[in-house]
Amino acid sequence: MKSIFNFFALGLLCLSLSAPTFAQKNKSKIIEEAHVQYTVTADGGMAAVLTGSKVDLFFTADHAKIVGDVMSGLVKLDGRFDHKKKTGLLLLDMMGEKQYMELDDESIEKSADESEVINQKPPKIEYIQKYKDIAGYKCQEVRMTLEESPNPIIIYVTEQIKPSNLENTAIMKFAGLKGFPLAWEGDYEGVKFSVKATDVFLDRLSKKIFSSKVPDGYTKMTGEELQNMGGTIGL
């Protein structure tokens, strides 16, 4: 059963408010800290309701955060990870029902082992000599073929963005890519999806963004409850 968490894992694998300060990007500098905004489109059965969903990825050398706004705000996902402490916090707000789950190194690794997206043979990766501008960055086309899908995922990656430690986060364990994905599209189990970065913000990120404090109004849940909740909305 795929949870909401695993859907975004697939997305970020394959995973705008443009201010003047970002109009002139420093193309020679490797970016290790940023806020990347993505938009999602999907087609196929109930997956169409995901069109218009937003995904925001924040990362620094020590922290990562992924925020998903699904089905016009009916479902909101907020995952925060501390690389030094090897801990995390997952917040889920589904139609006003707010729950959270605290993560440690053991639970994060267990989530990775059980993930249908991650737990498979290494994908076949082919770099194509085609390029596209995504959010102001030159990206190369990559075709990734997963063991369980005959259709390759088309990914556009840039080598100008290299987040430190992001590959150590369970949701971002996509081995083999030489660059950071700013757009991807594919057909997964009959669902056609497309995710594209609309902007990359380079302002220094506040530590408050990665706070491990549970907001008011949230109740604790288990991993099993999270999986069941994902199944109820068809993800």
Range of 141's domain?
Answer: 4-16+28-232
Which pLDDT band holds residue 13 (cuts at 50, 70, 90)?
Answer: very low
Instruction: Say if 52 falls within a structural domain.
Output: yes
Which pLDDT band holds residue 171 (cuts at 50, 70, 90)?
Answer: very low
Instruction: Say if 23 falls within a structural domain.
Output: no
Residue keyed to tokens 């309701």: 49
> Which of 170, 165, 178, 175 shows the shortest CA–CA distance to 121?
175
Which pLDDT band holds residue 232 (cuts at 50, 70, 90)?
Answer: very low
Instruction: Say if 142 falls within a structural domain.
Output: yes
Instruction: Say if 22 falls within a structural domain.
Output: no
CA distances from 234 to 7, 36, 46, 123, 195 (A): 10, 27, 7, 25, 19
Residue, of 174 and 200, whose pLDDT is higher: 200
Predicted local distance difference test score (pLDDT) of residue 197: 95
CATH number assigned to the domain comprising residue 87: 2.50.20.10
Determine which of 148-152, 162-166, 182-186, 205-209 has the lowest per-residue pLDDT on average: 162-166
Predicted local distance difference test score (pLDDT) of residue 8: 46
Rounded-to-integer distance, Cα 174 and Cα 156, Å: 14
Spell out the residues 6+ positions from residue 36 whose beta carbon is closer than 8 angstroms to its own.
Answer: 56, 57, 58, 135, 161, 182, 197, 199, 200, 201
Instruction: Say if 21 falls within a structural domain.
Output: no
Average pLDDT of the residues in 76-86:
89
pTM: 0.78
Instruction: Say if 148 falls within a structural domain.
Output: yes
Q: Domain count for the chain, please give it.
A: 1
SS (H, E, C) 60-95: CCCEEEEEEEECCCCEEEEEEEECCCCEEEEEEEEC
Instruction: Say if 37 falls within a structural domain.
Output: yes
Instruction: Say if 78 falls within a structural domain.
Output: yes
